[in-house]
Amino acid sequence: MGNPMTAEAHSDHEREVLAPLTGSQAYMHRARGVIARGVASAFRAASRPTPLVLDRASGSRLIDIDGNSFIDYVGAYGPALLGHNAAPILRSVLEQAERGTLFGAQHRGELELAERLVEMVPSAEMVAFANTGSEAVHTALRIAKAATGRQRIIKFEGHYHGWIDPVYLSLPGQPPAGGPLPRPASPLEALPPASDVIVARWNDSDSLLAAIDAGTSIAAIIMEPIPCNAGTFMPEPGYLQSVRDLCDRHGIVLIFDEVITGFRLAPGGAQEILGVTPDLTVFAKAIGGGFPMAMVAGRKPVMSVAAEGPLQLVGTYNGNAIGVAAANALLAEIRERGSELYQQLDHVAARLAGALTDLAAAAGCPLAVNQIGSVLQLLWDPSLPVRTYDDFARADPRPVEDLAEQLLTRGIYTRPRGLWYVSAAHSLDDIDVTAAAFEQALHEVAPSWN
């Protein structure tokens, strides 16, 4: 279809497709004059035929300013684990707001949250507060550097850890470099000094060994323990244990970035499922139930540099009462619903993945759906099974982007890069409606790509 905001003339078909989205289009036109790309986070600008402008959200549904209703699989980029505006979270936040939102002092919710998290997460003995995933990653790296007295970190190709300089490189979607050199996110962005970051290939012990050889003085290895941003697939049996052993041997702090997987895959995060525990874990997204909230959890010997040592962890909004109230409500809900919550998420997500896979096969499309719990990644023509970032990078993103566009015009909101989240608010009826739209979308897209 082409980008409607840049195309001067639209065909009759384009006009028909865009007619229901005229409010969003007009908004974006104005917003581009005063907001970079018209959006608050650049990833959102990729949505076709136009970035949506929303009026409200509830459960599994979004309503845009034109009054269109969408079944939502973007899930606010991960936080909407219980669905949008989940009642227990809203209740807790509204009650808290009446008593105060930000104190500049301690409040009971902080300790309640810290103790709950320590109870639930296998490797957590002590916590620190932050507000977003990026900030919490920054905090974890700073703790690791202070605890080891070293500077260098190892990051993996395609793993995403937020927008801070030391990790905003070799990002998902960039071609693999196949070596220890970081790739800048864009030609204009400076890389950290080569001495600071080494990039390795995940699920590949040799690559990690080479990275460790290449750099003495490594403070931390940071990874998504299940790389949801880089293909959504499991570690090879024994791989994580080999990383754990390497870290122990070399005195390196192992950081699991569980910003996506934390509380989404299990009450104790991916580490509960995988049986290998890190020294530090980063949580954000789901833990805040839709409010800004992030945490770093760690073992006492590593955290002691901040608890008893000279490192000071600071921040005006750290432990803000609203984010804490939301997190406490989320964790209470998880404890109350127990395994039933995760079984439901798995069941609905598996039904969705199965439906998409079957429809693609029936249409003769080489589409695979990697599903782990409530996280799905659509891949077009991958060299299955995906076990490295190179495999993931071989998939063609364009047909999946086209599918997202076709789905959007049929009332299904997904990310163009094919990373879908199911929430506890999605029903099997939602899945049936989605499947019907997906069949039509495939029908439109298949002739161009098959």
Q: Could you list the residues that contact ligand PMP (CB under 6 A)?
A: 77, 132-134, 137, 160-162, 224, 229, 257, 259-260, 284
Tokens of 77: 């980029």
288 vs 399, which CB is nearer to ligand PMP?
288
Could you give the maximum distance between any two Cα atoms of the chain, in Å? Answer: 68
Backbone angles phi, psi at 243, to 5 degrees: -65, -45
- Is 257 an annotated catalytic residue? yes
Backbone angles phi, psi at 56, to 5 degrees: -160, 170
Q: How far is the CB of 151 from ligand PMP (least distance, A)?
A: 21
Q: How far is the CB of 375 from ligand PMP (least distance, A)?
A: 11
- The residue with its CB nearest to ligand PMP is 133
**Residues 6 or more apart in contact with residue 66 via CB below 8 angstroms:** 20, 21, 22, 23, 24
Characterise 300 by phi-psi region: left (phi > 0), alpha (psi -120 to 50), beta (else): alpha
What SS3 class is residue 290?
coil
Tokens of 296: 């770093």
**Residues 6 or more apart in contact with residue 429 via CB below 8 angstroms:** none
Q: How far is the CB of 421 from ligand PMP (least distance, A)?
A: 11
- Contact present, 388 and 200 (Cβ < 8 Å): no
Measured CA to CA, the distance from residue 52 to residue 414 in angstroms comes to 11
Q: How far is the CB of 231 from ligand PMP (least distance, A)?
A: 13
β-pairing verdict for 412-413 and 375-380? unpaired
5 vs 39, which CB is nearer to ligand PMP?
39
134 vs 370, which CB is nearer to ligand PMP?
134
The strand ranges marked E within 214-286 are: 218-223, 253-257, 280-283
Question: From the candidates 64, 72, 204, 257, which is the catalytic residue?
Answer: 257
204 vs 257, which CB is nearer to ligand PMP?
257
160 vs 380, which CB is nearer to ligand PMP?
160
Q: How far is the CB of 298 from ligand PMP (least distance, A)?
A: 16
- Contact present, 84 and 61 (Cβ < 8 Å): yes
Question: From the candidates 73, 160, 168, 389, which is the catalytic residue?
Answer: 160
49 vs 262, which CB is nearer to ligand PMP?
262
Q: How far is the CB of 417 from ligand PMP (least distance, A)?
A: 11
Tokens of 66: 């034109």
Residues 281, 203, 415, 377, Cα dihedral to 10°: -110
Q: How far is the CB of 243 from ligand PMP (least distance, A)?
A: 17
Q: How far is the CB of 67 from ligand PMP (least distance, A)?
A: 29
Q: Which residues of 360-388 are buried (b: 16+ CB within 10 A; e: fewer)?
A: beebebbbbbbbbbbbbbbbbebeeebbb
- Contact present, 219 and 252 (Cβ < 8 Å): yes
138 vs 387, which CB is nearer to ligand PMP?
138
- Bridge partners, 420 (sequence order): 376
Q: Residue 334's closest CA among 116, 156, 104?
A: 116
77 vs 317, which CB is nearer to ligand PMP?
77
Question: From the candidates 64, 168, 285, 402, which is the catalytic residue?
Answer: 285
Task: Tell me how far the alpha carbon of residue 374 is from its chain's centroid.
Answer: 12
Task: Tell me how far the alpha carbon of residue 139 is from its chain's centroid.
Answer: 18
Residues marked as catalytic: 160, 257, 285
